[in-house]
Structures are given as structure tokens and as C-alpha cells.
Amino acid sequence: MGKTILVTGATGFVGSHLVDALLVSNPNDQIVATKRYHLSNRQHSKHFENRVTWVDCNLLDPIATEKMMDAVAPDCIFHCAAESFVSPSWNHPMQYMNMNYGSTVNLLESLRRVQSSAPIHIPGSGEEYGDISELDLPINQNTLLNPVNPYAVTKIAQDLISYVYHRSYGLNVIRTRAFNHEGPRRENVFGISSYAWQIARIENGIQNPVIETGDIDDRRNFTDVRDMVKAYQLAVEKCVPGELYLVGSNSEDHIFSFREVLEKLISFSNVQEINHKQVTKFTRPTQVPFLIADVSKFTAISGWKPQISMDQMLHDILDYWRIRVKSEML
């Protein structure tokens, strides 16, 4: 009999790609996915709607979470449910803390109560490192945290309470900090998806050939989300509980500024002379100039290596938005 794998946030960007990967790699296991009754946007999960077992649960409610965990009794948990868009966190700091920290505590408490040995993957973010000097690159496990937005603070809280539950109660917590990962299905409020969405609108004549952006000179190491979810699967299999692992593509052909990424996307368009301009509404109060990681600890223990090139990722994002913009025009 196969295992029961619980995925929270399965209707979201990362969660839906993770379910895709699990259905291929774990065909004999039962995949259980959480949703919030009628509140979850299911557009990214329609294609596997009947291939997983859905469970209604608001993870912010400790009683609901406890009952859900009792009913599912998972052998493995991927905790993908989160508030992940940085910009609104300045205006909704408690909402972000409640979701990213509070839901994690509810899950961990449920596991502690039943003395579960199930591994639970807690995906952190490179944003936790915040305003890092170029002299301090690449970021590693010992780099000091210097968060500059509320989202990052909530992810630090999530990570550290998970570590506390590992040390205090022996829970099988797998800790990672993922650096920028992009791909199809990310909503158009995020930088690269916003650029691709606007290009698709320009190609269809519903937007002037000017892309509106925030600050575009921050540099990142980018990974395709489809590679990232495979890294998460390997993390649960290979990583030592309680230890911290940084995950991301650190080869030179995956390190770019947002300006360079935008120019690549523009070059893929069939419209000539698309321009771009920075606008106030997309410019954050504080910037994170560099998020470039040393991921050698994770790659050494897991053998993980990204397979999808930067250009392929960007083509796939642009094609996703071309299809979606067309469908929304009908």
C-alpha cells in the first residue's frame, strides 16, 4: 500500500506544480490536497481535479487543522500554503504573519500532539536575507538575516518556529530557503509574470507598447518552478531534519537582473519596439538588491541539478500568458 502525501496550498503556483510532479513520481501514493471550501482559486488545479483527494480546511483554524490531520494521517507533508506576494505585506502584516507563521504552528501542533514521525517540508525564502551587500555574496547558511519587508519577517518566523518544534519535540522538519523560482501559472502581480502578461496584451492590441515595472535592477538567481518542486521532493528524501538548506540555480546562466530578464522577454515578442518605464505603484518601499545563493550544501546531499534553461522558462511563461490573455478576450 502506498503512502499518503499531504500538500497544503495545492491550488497555488508552487503547490499545483508540486502535485503535477508527485502524480508522475509517486503513482502508487495517495495525494491529499487542501482547499478552503469555495474560497480557493482552482484554475491551476483543474487538470488534476479528479486525481487527488481534496480536503476542506482553513489552516488558520487550529481545530479545523487538527481534525484534518487526524482524518488524513499523512506519511509526508509539503506545506506550500502561504501568502507569497511581497508587495501587499506592508499593508497587511498581520494577515501575512497569521498565514505564514500561524498556519505552520497549527500543522506542527497537530503533528506534535499525535507524536507523528512524518517529514514536513517548510519552504522558506531567499527574501529572508534582505538587504545584503554585494561583498557578502554568495549567500550561505551562515549569512546574517536582514529582512526589509514584512513578508520576509513572517518567513523567518515560520522557519524558526519549525526549528523549535524539531529541537523541542523531535518533529521531522525539513527546512529549505528557496531563491527566486518562476514559471507558468504565477499570477501577473509578480514581476516576470507581469512583464509577460503585458507583452501578451501588447501583442493583442489591448495595451500600448509600454511595459510598466517597479525597480528592475535587482539581481537574482532564477530557477524554474518545475525544477524547484523536484528539489523539494529530494529535500524530503535526502536532507537531515532540522538542518537548513538553500535551494536555487547558482550557475551564471541563471543569474540576471530583472532588467535583463525583461529585455529577454521583449526580444521574444513578435511586436517591434516595446518600451518600458518604472512607475510608482509597482515600486516597493525597500529593495533587495542581491539574492544570489551558494546552494552547494543542498546539491551535495541531494544530487539535484536544474534541467530547464532560463530561456525555456521565459518562453513558457510568455506562452502561458499568450494563451490566458486570448482566452480572457473571448
pLDDT value, residue 37 = 79
Beta carbons of 232 and 162 less than 8 angstroms apart: no
| CA-to-CA dists, residue 45 to 34, 68, 193, angstroms | 11, 20, 19
Q: Domains of the chain (ranges plus CATH)?
A: 4-181+223-247 (3.40.50.720), 186-220+252-288+308-329 (3.90.25.10)
| Separation between Cα atoms, residue 330 and residue 312, nearest integer Å | 28
pLDDT value, residue 231 = 98
Give 306's contacts (C-beta < 8 A, 6+ positions apart). Answer: 223, 224, 227, 249, 251, 254
pLDDT value, residue 280 = 94
- For the beta carbon of residue 238, count every other beta carbon within 10 angstroms: 15
Side-chain-facing half-sphere of 167: CA atoms under 13 Å: 8
Read off the pTM: 0.96
pLDDT value, residue 257 = 97
pLDDT value, residue 1 = 63
Ranges under pLDDT 50 in the chain: none
Beta carbons of 92 and 85 less than 8 angstroms apart: no
| Separation between Cα atoms, residue 252 and residue 116, nearest integer Å | 41
Question: pLDDT tens, 269-326?
Answer: 999 999 999 999 999 999 999 999 999 999 999 999 999 999 999 999 999 999 999 9
Q: What angle do CA 167, 126, 14 make, to 5 degrees?
A: 90
| Separation between Cα atoms, residue 255 and residue 315, nearest integer Å | 17
Identity of residue 319: D
- For the beta carbon of residue 283, count every other beta carbon within 10 angstroms: 12
Identity of residue 144: L
pLDDT value, residue 43 = 87
| Separation between Cα atoms, residue 295 and residue 22, nearest integer Å | 23
